[in-house]
Structures are given as structure tokens and as C-alpha cells.
Amino acid sequence: MSILFGAALLMLLIGPSFANLTRSRRWTLSLIRLGVIALALLAMVRPGCIEKIQKNQSAVLLFLIDSTRSMQLPHIDDNSTRWGTTVEMVRENQSRFKKLAENKIDVRVFTFDNQIQPIEIEDGVIKLPDQPGGAETDIGTAIYETSMNVRDERLLSVYVVSDGVQNVIDPEAELTQAAEALADMEVPLVAVQLGSAADSGQLADVAITNFAEQMVVNKKNDLNARATVVSRGFANRDITFELVLTDSDGTESVVATEIYRPANNYEESFVDLKFRPNDPGEFRIKVRCLPLPEERALRNNELDGFLTVRDEGMRVLFLNGSLGNEQKFLRQSLSVIDFIKMDFQPIYTYKNARDRDWPIKTFESDFADPQKYDVFILCNVDSRALHDSSHTQSLAALADAVRSGKGLLMIGGPHSFGGGLWHKTPLADVLPVKMEHTERQEFDQDVRKDLHINSPFKVTPTRDSFLTQISDSGNRKAWANLPPLLGANRISVKDTAEVFLQSDDDVKRPILATANVGGRVAAFAGDSSWRWKRYKFDKQYNQFWRQVILWLAFWDSKNDESVSIDLPKRRFSPKAVVNFDVTVNTIAGEAVEDVEFEAALVKPDGKSDVITINKAGQRYQSELDPESLAEAGLYRIEVMASRAGAPIGNSEREFVVMDRDKEKSNPVANPEQMKQLASRTSQFGGKAIGPEQLAEVLDDYIENPPMTKIEIPLKWRLGETFPSAALFLCAFVALLGVEWLLRKNWGLV
């Protein structure tokens, strides 16, 4: 570029060869041309400049206000509500919000339930809704999403106004994840605590937290309906509980009353209400607490269940091949149920084969009599004790009984399933387990390890079901808390079987499998479930095994002889997903094909919705529309089956949608959770405060505004803006034009 500029300057010394110019004219043209050269050089260099100025940086304060229905509950003992306290707190600080805005501190307010809603602020006035109506509290997601949205700005602090009770089931962001995100950003979390803790002595409430979902009793036998009760604030006060029975006509009657007097301000206990039904049938049963004047949350004062009253009891034949703990604990659990009559028959296994009087033929009549037993249990029984080539009648009669509607349970052990040669018997077709001819356990040899799971493991349910329901809340957690089984038979299941329990390892081996072959069949691969009871999990152990026996005898539902509805649960929340199965069998127990259904869901208001039932293997399945279950109350599924226009049978099943708003059913706040959240950012100023302390915190921002100066560069370069480019072009063209006009006038062109 310097060479070109030098060459252009040298060209100024060359004058015209055909005309004489005066000295002044020569200098005039040279200066004009020098200006053109200078402008050309300027265009190539394009000079510019940078100027820096300082400005105050604005900051952001985030306010997240809980707007769920739990905010309608009491704040403290002065009858104020949590929402009323929040509105009053906001009103008292309106002038402070306005001053913060004047100090370049941007206050942004959001309400949250399981969604986040921005709130308009006008001249310091935060326009909160009249009443909170959110269904689920999700504190973690509200903190995480709002803070991430302003991570590129200067976030001073996040204020969370809530009672601290997290009710959402599956949050997008956990509480700890949200607090750690703020800690990474070095932003303090200030928790504004609302409500009182359970041990504060400021709440008065009675809650029924547990009551059996389904009960079965024989008529004219005592039913002991036990409810778990939590009382707060009613020490040495009489609390009245009632057991309410509702018949098929909808007529309610109080059948039992019990007075409970807690000794302490906070107490969890049981209330037993005894009742002796005289008439068989299916009933809705409810335990309720009569409201006391001090109570503010009444939705937790009652809990529904269902009662089946049978005409006669259930008969069970229990055959056992070894006198171990599994049969001992199971017999103890079932024997206390008054409607189960059990006959126990040990089949002793002698080491000397000549001492065995096998096969035993006396059970043939027991298996063949349709009136004698409802359920058969085989625990570590070798098939050779009942069956050989010379005597096949006993197990053939048992297989026929199961196909005609009887229940069969096989429990694990060395001589169960393939190890006991059950694949060579008529039961091979009804059991849900695949068995190979190579699976053989000899009596005088060690247990074959290849046929068993030889290390401890825990079991986990594959689905929610009547068979796997051992807790009214946190069912999967309840299974996870059970002691591990010491081992189990290594089984594989048939394609037509359903697995309800499996090992919790990566292999997920089947532990409880079922089949429906007319009657119900269950295979439990373990033989150490007694450990659940040994280690004080009596309730879970008893509930599991009793439910298995009830399920095997079809006592878990109201069925006629040919059409049955299997509904795993009987209590649901509004808009829950409800699935059920329908089984259609002939009187002989064979599955019916090409069935047509007319099915309806009868709602609490008497209106009906049509239900579609689809084929799934030997069963039929359906799923109810969650929107049809929005209203709390009693629902009824009605199913009528026909084939080729001829009626087969019908069945009905009732369940209840509970009006137990989880946001309002528990008046207890969780201030400790709010403190723990704030403490995760304590090194940056995070803390827990009461609503009355907010003014002091905001005043500190107003009196000592956290201003930060930032440098903003102002850049200019020739030609980047339109004015500079236009000015340059005009100057360049003007010089060239003047030079050309002068040369023309002076006779140089």
C-alpha cells in the first residue's frame, strides 16, 4: 500500500505535455489530486475509534409464591390462612417493591403449583389471584426453571413463599437439584415459611391414614375393622369414630361406634370397630371421624373400603413336604382368619425309599369333591408322593378341579416345579411354569444349585395389583423395605402366564407368576418369605399371603359363575388411570372365545359412560378414561357378555374415587424442609425467615443497593454507518469533479 501511495505522489510531478500552466494552476491541481489520493488511502485504511462508558447494571429479585390449595389452610393459631398471610405480606411491602424498581432492581413474581405463572406488577402492586387453586406443589421445578431463565442476568436472590410441603409425585426437578443449581450460581435462597409444623402444638386435626381397601368375612362372624388414626391437638379429648355400611340400594347405616381418647398432643394409634354382618353380599364400608369444632382440614376424616360377606367360609388343603419355616409361618398367618378353614397334611420324605408308602392315594377323593376345598397349596411336595405310572388319578382329579374353578398355589423348594418331576404329571398343563425333563432332584443327594437362585435378593412388583398391594401408600417402597429372600427356584414362565413379582437384580427373574385356566393358579418360587415376619414385617407378610389366598378363591371380586372382573384396587384419586381385566369362562372353566360385551361405567350422579373392552390373550382388558373419573364418589363397572346373541353372564364391580385433596387433607406444614433448602445456599446469604421479616430484608436492599458498574464500549469506524460512508463518497466525488472542471476550463481535456 505504501508503494502505491509513493507512486501516486511521484505522478503529481508529471505535467501536461501539450499546454503550459501557470504556477498557481499547477499547485491547485496538485493539491486537489493530493486530496483524492489521501481519500483513497483513507478508504483503504478505514480508521476508527473505541470509547468506553460506565453504567449501573440492573439486578433481578425472584419471588416464587405457592398457589396450591394447601395455602387455604391455617398459617398459625390466630385463624389466619397461609394465603391471607401471603397477601398481607405483599400488601405491606408494596412501597418497598416500588423503591426497588427505582434503584434498578427488577422484582419478578411468579406463582406456582405444578406449573409456573408470571404475575403482573404495576407501580409496586403485585396482582395476586383472589384464591389459590393449584392441585400439586412442585417447589423444586419452580426454583430451577425460573432461576435458569435468568442465569444470563444479575440474579440477586430467590425468595420462595410456601409451606414447604412437596406433593407432586414426579417432579421435573428435585428440591436438592434446584438448591444446588442456585449454589452453583452463588445465589442465595430465602425461604419465607408459612404454616406450623406437626409438633408445634398449634394445629388441631384428626386424620384416618390407613384402612383396609378390601375385607372379606363370613356371615355371622365378627369383622374387626381397624383404622390407623393420627390426632393432633386433642389430648384427653373424646373423639368419636363410626363404621358406616352402605348396601346395594345406597342405604347407609352406622354399624359400630368407638370412642378414642388420645393421651398426648400428637398421637398415632389404632381404632378397632367390630361388626357382625348377618346378610351375605358386597357392601361399601367406611370409617369416619365425627368432626370437632377446632378442625380446619376435614377431608382426611374418613376413608372408604369394600366388604364382601360370604355365605360360608373358605376351605384350604395344605400339603407340605418338609417341616420348615415357610409352612409354619404361612399356617400361622392364615389360621387366624376366621373364614378360612385349613386342613394341613405333611407328606414326610424318608431317606430310605422302601419306607415310603408312595404314591399316596387317599387325596384323590379330596381333589375330586367340588364341595370340599376351594384352594390347594403344595409346598415342597415331590410329585412322586402322589403320582406314578400305576396311579395317575389323584393329580388328574386335582388338575380337573383347578380347571373347574378351584385355586392352586405351588410354593418353592427343592422338590417343587421341575425338581419334583411335576412336568410328568397332569398339573404340567395348569401350572404357569415351564419345566424340563432334565430338572430332577433326588432325595438322597445335595440340592442342585443349577435349579435355584443361590444368593439373597429382594423382590419387586412388576405392576400394581391386588396380589402385590401391601401398603396403601408407597407400595413399591414397602416392597423395597422387606428383607431379602435367601434364594428361590430358578423358574421360567409360559407365554400365557403373568408375572407379578420378580427379583430386583438386572436379570429380573420371575418369583410370583399366575395363570387362569378356569381356576386361578399361582407359582411362588421362594421358600423364605417367613423372614419378612421374622424381622417384624408382620403386616406386609400377612397381607401378601392372605391376598394370594383370597385371589386364588376369586374372593377379591364380585363375580358370577362365568364372567369376572379383576380390578386391582378399589380406591383411586380423581382422574386416575384405572385398568381392569374381564375373564369369561364356561361352567367347566374353559375360556370363551368370540365374546361380545356391553359395558358401562356408572358414575356417582347416575349417568353412564360406554366402556370398550378389548381381547388380550384369554382375557379381555379395558382402561377407563381418566376424565370420566373427575368427580369424587362411588363408581360401578357393569359388564354383560354374550356370544352369537346368546347371553353368557354379567358381572359388576364397584370402586370409589376419594375426595381427599392431598393439598388440603394434611394441615401440617414442613418448615424444616424450607430451612434445609435455604441452608444449601447459606454461604451466599441463604436463610429461612418468617413473613414479618421480609420488610427488613427488602429495606437492606433499598438502603444499600447492590450497584455494579459495567463498562460499555462505543465503537466507530469509517464507512460502518451510512452518514460516514455518504460523506466520504461525496467528498471523493466532489474533488474528482472539481479537478475535471478546472482541467476542462484550462484546456487540458
Query: What Cα–Cα distance (Å) separates residue 713 from each residue in 47, 52, 385, 691, 719?
Result: 17, 4, 96, 43, 19
Residue 587: predicted pLDDT: 41
Which candidate, 632, 656, 650, 623, places its Cα nearest to that of 558?
A: 650
Task: Say how many Å lie between the first and final Cα of the chain, rounded.
Answer: 30
Q: What is the pLDDT of residue 639?
A: 93
Q: Calculate the CA dihedral of residues 9, 10, 13, 19 and round it to 10 degrees.
A: -100
DSSP secondary-structure letter at 451?
A: G
Strand partners, 437: none
Residue 40's identity, in one-letter code, is A
Supply the pLDDT for residue 8.
59
What is the β-pairing status of strands 608-611 and 596-602? Answer: antiparallel
| Long-range contacts of 116-119, Cβ-Cβ distance < 8 Å, separation of 24 or more | 116/141, 116/142, 116/145, 116/146, 117/67, 119/65
Per cent of the chain over pLDDT 70 is 88
pLDDT for 427 equals 95
CA-wise closest residue to 132 among 78, 60, 177, 194: 194
Ranges of the chain with pLDDT below 70: 1-20, 51-58, 77-79, 124, 169-170, 197-203, 296-297, 312, 338, 349-355, 472, 557-562, 586-591, 618, 659-668, 706-714, 749
